[in-house]
Structure 1
Amino acid sequence: PTDVELAKNMGCRAIYLQNSPETLKEKGLEEVCALATTDWDQIAEFLFAGERKAEVRRTTKETDIDVALNLDGNGTCDISTGLGFFDHMLEQIGKHSGMDLTIHVKGDLEVDEHHTIEDTAIVLGECIYQALGSKRGIERYGYALPMDDCLCQVCLDFGGRPWLVWDAEFKREKIGEMPTEMFLHFFKSLSDAAKMNLNIKAEGQNEHHKIEGIFKALARALKMAIKRDIYHFELPSSKGVL
């Protein structure tokens, strides 16, 4: 910790050779710590390829949205949109992809849920796109998973060409406070903003399980696709550009 304090006094950041920065919190040095790990491959990746973080703020007459993420985080989430079920679904993205995700939204819920859900997807997509940077070394592609009675498949490609294939139907008008018609709209806006191809299919009887399975499958697909290999630090494309 005294070395991290030295870094703070010098105006730079530190890599802390411990698995947890808990001891730094007591001294107020957490922000100075760029990385806390004993994994030298992770340290090499950080020094060689850099951080993959982004923050996007979008303010309109309808919504005020702040999204921040770290693709190489630990799945830590801080999410508040004013829609409980939507918060729960967004938390699945962070938790099961391993990215740290902060989403704070103030929307015109007195009108309805549409603007809050759509604009959140746009800002989250932009944040993912920025954090990916050059895309060098990423796997690019990503997942199917079962959830009780449901089978959900989300395949994605960070190829730079947005497209959505949606094969999921819902019989309920709402799940929680979230209209089921907005699920398609959310993923379309997310695909466009992140410039990724999404192919989503879901089957099953329980509507809650079905949509939660889709969000979890998206998260696992993201985890696969954003995985980075600094020892093969090339664009995963024969075109040479993504």
Structure 2
Amino acid sequence: MNETIKQLWERKSVREYTNQPITNEEKEMILQAALQAPTAGNMALYSIIDIQDQKLKDELAIRCDHQPFIAKAPLVLIFLADYQKWFDIFQHYTSDEVKIEESDLLLACEDCMIAAQNAVVAAQSLGIGSCYIGDILENFEANQELLHLPQYAIPLCMVVFGKPTPSQINRKKPTRFALEDMVSVDYYREKTTEETIQMFEKQTGKSGEDLEKYIIAFAKRKFYALFREEMNRSSRAIIQHWIK
């Protein structure tokens, strides 16, 4: 196993950090790695905000489901799905109407997440932990105002970085689903209910009543949850804002 593959296998979300700072050199390497990500037509349909103001970190920690570790993270990056620069340059140089639509949003989202993952992998290689914060999708209008964003720049994901504490380094990484359960050949293979149960048994190490209790608790925490209602509302607002 080469070093790159090893880093991908070992990487896990880190939510507790030591007091050791991330150096300017390390930050630049993380950001430069993000910029090397694959991008549609080399358009770089994303941009990054480096949150340095502690008051902003504090506010984001509250807005993102009240998670204090966000405010304590030495590096907080918000990755934006961003078509604004191309809209502006098309407006300037072409005589045709410039209309940004749904497919442009999806392409920008792809570019944005690939860049974020490049940053995460680069950080891992430097011994720096990271955690994706999906809650940045909530409170869209307020975050748009907070970050002074134009119409075609959407806060898609936030990643916090820091040097992991010993307990975080030693914490067991959650088991992923098995390869044979995740990869189909040529066409999608829809599983029977029994096959799906077996898939979750392998991933969780639970079966019978234990698996049932786990799934019900997971559904309450992640699916039938108030934060998901707000995330859905904000997601609809994002689409309406983008294509208006």
Specify which structure has the bigger relative contact order, considering alpha-carbon pairs within 8 angstroms and separated by 6 or more residues. Answer: 2
Fold similarity call, TM over 0.5:
no
Structure 1 length as normaliser, TM-score? Answer: 0.27
Give the number of the structure whose residues are more often strand, by fraction. 1
Q: Which of the two has higher C-alpha Rg?
A: 2
Structure 2 length as normaliser, TM-score? Answer: 0.27
Give the number of the structure whose residues are more often helix, by fraction. 2
